[in-house]
Amino acid sequence: MELARKQAWYRSVALGTHRRGLLCWLMGIIFETLRRFSSEDVLFSFLPETYVNVIPVLLDTIMDFSFHDTAVQHDLSEDDPLIESAAEFLAHHLADSRVILASCKDALIQALGSLTCHEAGIRALEHASQASQQSLVRALLRPYENRAWGQSNWLLLRFWLGDGFGYRESRAPCVWQAGRLPGRSLGLFRSRAKNGSHTGLLHLIAPACPSRHFQRLISEMLSKDETFCTSFLNSVLSQLNWAFSEFIHILQDIQNVSQRDEQQVIETKQLKICSMCFELTVSLMRALEMIVTITPGLWLDTSRANSEIILGRICQLAIQVLSRVTIPPGCFQHVMDLCLPDLSNVTHFAIISAAIGILLALMKNELGGGGADGTALVAGTSDISVHKVPRVSKYLLTDTSFHITSLEFALGEIKTPIANTSQEAPRGNFDPKMRAHIDPLTNEVRVPSPFRAIIGVKEIVPDPPIIKFNMADYPSHVTQEELDQ
């Protein structure tokens, strides 16, 4: 009874329509004050920072004002004028030089994050003035150097979420869905927990609402200003190289600690840093996938001075990432088998799907009918006639890190023999015929009994191993058309 009374009070007072109306009125007053102060160049510099710092709190409260236990949310259609005024101000002032306090800059970008988490907010940004939209895009595409770029990159991904390869939701797919084959689910049960903790930026549960409008604006800005585009791309590639290198380095340290005879505890701080580096790597790869997809002229246009260099760096990074997380033996699979709770968001799907998305975007013109650089591909038949190796394919095939086994791994089973100089049994996906000496449950090497010939016991034929990863096991994120590609 007491709980029912508290719930009734909570709904009628704290979450009532009247209370929400007061918050909307306050928000309107704040934005009108900010707009008038902004029109006066000098006066805006003396505006109390409280007016700016309170924006993300109020905006997030108004747009997410709901009965949390019943998932009933207010209709935002009546608040279109308020949301549009917020979108206009935030888009125009994100990179305003008059905003000098770090807390105010962070408040502006967090408020934009709240807008982009709702379809109404993204549509309001699309209806903002052209000058404000151009200012917003240029602010987001500033080089990722000497500034906090994590949230800017996250905002770019909000415009791309829903259009990338296997990029249907911001959250990682639930491994419990296990595709259509129950036999494959066992390895997934053993590898991951159902609900993992996340250390991402801003919101991670917002539904996908891609913006083709802002994708076009980003593409136009990168295509027109070659110097600006080159500076931005180089910064993204540099940060991606740093994040992935740090991630692999920490994985190697964890592997070394776990293989020592003495029992040593892996520090939680190290695991959290590893998780953060992984999320930064995946987010940067998704941003790169978007740029490569919407602006193919960056490498297709050979008249551009840096087209060859950019294409080479992108291909090299994508191949390096795939090879390090797929080709066994490796520290990635070893740490995955440890099932550490603080690394529950580190999964094969997130990083492999991002890398494959980049490769498919690069090879879009070479897959199917017509290839680039005078190539002739015959699609739809079992025989493919290639008179000249396509440009992107040549970059991939000539890279020393490229292995066809990386692509086979994504499809669930490695069939190509792997040259292993360390004599260590490879882990992960494999052909059962090649791994008869591996225990399918523990993924450990089976040592034959020295007495099997004496006692006359036949060698036990192992069951087919549990496949740890298969892109087809995630039908909610990957379509059949994407698998066919």
Mean pLDDT of 197-212: 60
pLDDT of residue 439: 52
Give the residue among 91, 175, 105, 98 at the shortest CA–CA distance from 138: 91
| Mean residue pLDDT across the chain | 76
Compare 122 and 198 and report the one with higher pLDDT. 122
- Out of 132-136, 275-279, 359-363, 370-374, least confident range: 370-374
Whole-number Å distance between alpha carbons of 255 and 257: 5
Give the residue among 69, 165, 88, 80 at the shortest CA–CA distance from 118: 80
pLDDT tens, residue by residue, 374-432? 444 444 444 555 567 777 777 777 777 777 877 777 777 666 555 554 545 455 554 44
pLDDT of residue 387: 63
Q: Where are the domains of the chain?
A: 2-140, 176-362+403-415+468-484
| Tokens (6 digits) for 342 | 């603080």
* Helices assigned H by DSSP within 327-347: 331-338
pLDDT band at 473 (very low <50, low <70, confident <90, very high): confident
Mean pLDDT of 446-461: 45
Q: Is the dihedral of CA 443, 449, 450, 452 positive or negative?
A: negative
Residue 151 confidence (pLDDT) above 50 = yes
Give the residue among 140, 224, 469 at the shortest CA–CA distance from 322: 469
Q: Which amino acid is at 26?
A: L
Residue 93 confidence (pLDDT) above 70 = yes
| Tokens (6 digits) for 470 | 């298969």
Residue 310 confidence (pLDDT) above 80 = yes
| Tokens (6 digits) for 106 | 């962070």
